[in-house]
Chain A
Amino acid sequence: MSKKKHVTLNVNGKTEEFLAEPRELLIYTLRERLNITGPHIGCETSHCGACTVTINGKSVKSCTMFAVQAEGAEITTIEGIGGPDNLHPLQEAFKEHHGLQCGYCTPGMITRATKLLEEIPNPTEAEIRFGMAGNLCRCTGYQNIVKSIQAAAAQMSAAKEAAE
């Protein structure tokens, strides 16, 4: 049994401290230790993106990182992006434009999309498809996901302009 390490993470604004074996993958830390079950597991070869979270401002597949590796990091999952009292425009747009069906890819998809819209606030369709290529979906065929992200981008740009 390997030596456990003391790990401190900031997850969705809350500080979490625990002892973990080095081999504990961040996705399991979130899902099983912290009961944050939004990010999902869809594969074991880092292809599907269902586990995507934002770590220190980067989109990361949390299944391909050890908790110890993320020591000190600021992590945002879908639960930290918006809730019933303060939905993110992307969460609203996905509902408005039918950007989900079974919902399994949705947390990773929306989490990645929040970062994409920071990278490119007004992306073209090609930029959306390229920028979301790390997240697989089996249900929607992506077309309405693209529409949802376009709608959210437009809404967020309009809100930004209104605020300025």
Chain B
Amino acid sequence: MIPAAFEYYRPKDMDKVLSILEEHGDDARVMAGGHSLIPMMKLRMADVPHLIDLQDVGGMSEIEIGADTIKIGALVTQSDIIDHAALADVAPILREASLQIADPQVRYMGTLGGNIANGDPGNDMPGLMQCLDATFTVVGQDGERAIPARDFYEAAYVTAREDGEVLTAVTIPRPKGGHAYEKQKRKIGDYATAAASVQIVNDGGKCVSAAIAMTNLSDTPVFSKTAGDALVGTSVDDAALKAAVAAMLGDIDPTEDNRGPVAFKNHVAGVILRRAIARAWSRA
């Protein structure tokens, strides 16, 4: 329960953050709300000789809703997302997903950046970001770059972010159509047994676009283009749902754990996706 000793920094600007990261290399890590990192440090499963607390760095705590895009700072908490009325209006899937993450206390502290940056396959936001075709702004010594969420996750805890870079914001195109974040879990506070994010657009009874991403069913979130494609041009009838599920199953690769064996997870992934699509379609 007692972490190893470490040096603590609380810089007031990003330049200082980056220079500490450069100085100490992979001995240094940034921390937002700390609710992923601190439990690992307490179990001594994460070794962090130099801990950089981001909470005083400005410019990362805002939610900006523009005409075409929404920009959310990395330090925005799940609780901020839930309480933001305008955000709930323009991108209701975010609030729906946030409410299914962890518990009230953790949501007060857990940040969007913390949920998406470290590549934990259990986290809910990465898959959702892929569904929404979000772009992550990542800042380093060489400046800023934008990485699409759909290209960000490489393996468990391995992302396109370099060690010396910090994820500072997420930009989401304003989503269209109906939405659903459907998550099966063993209890409140658990990671997903299987979860699906769906955004789907209905034009005259036909689906004209569908974005589907799956969570905790692989070592990364899975954006399943083929599952979405299987719905486009259809009336999202039973045959289309079956096709979407079959396509999705080809893209995921779940492992056995305490939540259950592979066969169970595959089955439940299909059930959850069907329900998510049905719900999103009913709202489209």
Contact = CB atoms under 8 A, between A and B. Distances in A.
A19 interface: no
B122 to A, nearest CB: 13
Contact of A58 (B10, B53, B108, B188): B108
Interface string A5-29: 1000000000000000111010000
Contacts of B188: 130, 133
Contacts of B38: 46, 64-66
A64 B114 CA distance: 14
Contact of A68 (B1, B5, B10): B10
A23 B34 contact: no
A112 B105 contact: yes
A133 B189 contact: yes
B109 interface: yes
B10 A71 contact: yes
B255 interface: no
B157 interface: no
Given A23-B5, A134-B103, 11 more contacts: A22-B6, A44-B39, A44-B43, A45-B43, A66-B38, A69-B53, A133-B103, A133-B188, A134-B102, A134-B105, A134-B106
**Interface pairs A-B: 4 shortest CB-CB:** A134-B103, A22-B8, A58-B108, A44-B1
25 contacts: A2-B7, A5-B8, A22-B8, A23-B2, A23-B41, A44-B1, A44-B39, A44-B42, A44-B43, A45-B43, A49-B103, A49-B105, A59-B104, A59-B105, A60-B105, A64-B34, A64-B109, A65-B34, A68-B8, A69-B34, A69-B55, A131-B104, A134-B103, A134-B104, A134-B106
Interface of B: 1-8, 10, 34-35, 38-39, 41-43, 51, 53, 55, 79, 102-106, 108-109, 188-189
